[in-house]
Amino acid sequence: MPGNIKMITEAIDYIESHLQEKPDLDAIAEALHYSKYYLHRMFTHTAGLTIQTYVQRRRLTEAAKLLVFSDRPILDIALTAGYESQQSFTDIFKAMYKKTPNQYREEEVFYPLQLRYSFNENPAYLEAKAWKDRIVFATEEDIPEWIKLVHLVIDGFPYLDDEQYLEQLKKSIRAGQALILRDRDRAVGIMIFRETAGTIDFFGVHPQYRKRGIGKAFCEKVLEELTCSQQISVTTFREGDKADTGYRKEWESLGFAEGELLTEFGYPTQRFVLQREKMEKNGKNY
């Protein structure tokens, strides 16, 4: 595994230093002397995204930054982002950000679609029960590592504002509503859970750990130890949202069922609900 992580890290380093050139799988594999088929498989498995998707999201994020912090024409930004026309850029930008580049620029607020990934070279791989036993209440000392993980899972939280989020995080920690899971010194799972409402207000798992049963461990921790509620709920992307990198599918795999359609901070979402009875009955299947 460490060898695979080294390869993925090298690929990300290359991508980040060549974003202006729109690097693709062939170019990256050739530059790093890896089989493109093996690189594709390992990158997708480890990062949860294809190289193509990661590059697209990173370039759109940099384009969004230029829209807010520069006066460059939108056509110029579109060409820099690798699109042949302003219209093609506008179409994908709106699909991802839910507003046109011009609307985004007018609001003068930058928020990223995708930030750079980083990985743990020596991760621990434990069963779900072992992960659950390591989940503890966060303290203010955990904030730096918590925020690092927030930036890694920013793809699941459109419109997240760092300053507002930090203030809310501190309140959640003081209220005993913030849970954290660490692998050695690194935060690999975080959750803000409101017991009275039975709602998950924020949940993130390090991309490298998403197939390791951490989601199940957090759900069991909440329902078995932290709430008497018969259900817990969360909001996520609506079906068909191109900005979704797999969050909706992950909640479904954990046994959550579709609820009402919502709009939060101007973004179309959907509530998902997990019944305690279903978790107890089908716990082995999610």
Is 59 a domain residue? yes
Q: Are residues 260 and 155 in the same domain?
A: yes
**Cα 221 to Cα 68, 175, 188, 191, 228, distances in angstroms:** 41, 17, 16, 11, 12
Q: Are residues 146 and 47 in the same domain?
A: no
pLDDT in tens, 188-198: 999 999 988 89
Is 38 a domain residue? yes
Q: Are residues 89 and 218 in the same domain?
A: no
Q: Kindly write down the DSSP assignment for every residue of 170-212, as one continuous string.
A: HHHHHTT-EEEEEETTEEEEEEEEETTTTEEEEEEE-GGGTTT
Domain that includes residue 215, residue range: 128-285
Q: Are residues 97 and 156 in the same domain?
A: no
The domain that holds 145 is classified in CATH as: 3.40.630.30
pLDDT in tens, 138-189: 999 999 999 999 999 999 998 888 899 999 999 999 999 999 999 888 899 9
pLDDT band at 286 (very low <50, low <70, confident <90, very high): very low
Q: Are residues 166 and 277 in the same domain?
A: yes
**Cα 85 to Cα 67, 76, 225, 235, distances in angstroms:** 16, 9, 54, 35
How many other β-carbons are positioned within 10 Å of the β-carbon of residue 123?
A: 18
Looking at per-residue pLDDT, the higher value among 84 and 129 belongs to: 84
Identify the pLDDT of residue 64.
97
Q: Are residues 142 and 18 in the same domain?
A: no
Where among 107, 142, 171 does a domain terminate? 107
Beta carbons of 67 and 77 less than 8 angstroms apart: yes
Q: Are residues 133 and 272 in the same domain?
A: yes
Q: Which two tokens stand for residue 264?
A: 């939060």
Query: Measured at the alpha carbon of residue 159, what is the angle toward residues 155 and 160, in degrees to the nearest 5?
Result: 75
Q: Which two tokens stand for residue 20?
A: 């202006």
Identify the pLDDT of residue 211.
83
pLDDT band at 285 (very low <50, low <70, confident <90, very high): very low
Looking at per-residue pLDDT, the higher value among 75 and 279 belongs to: 75
- The pLDDT > 90 percentage for the chain reads 72
Domain count, the chain: 2
Is 113 a domain residue? no
Beta carbons of 5 and 46 less than 8 angstroms apart: yes
Q: What is the dihedral of CA 27, 30, 33, 35, to 10 degrees?
A: 90
Q: Are residues 158 and 18 in the same domain?
A: no
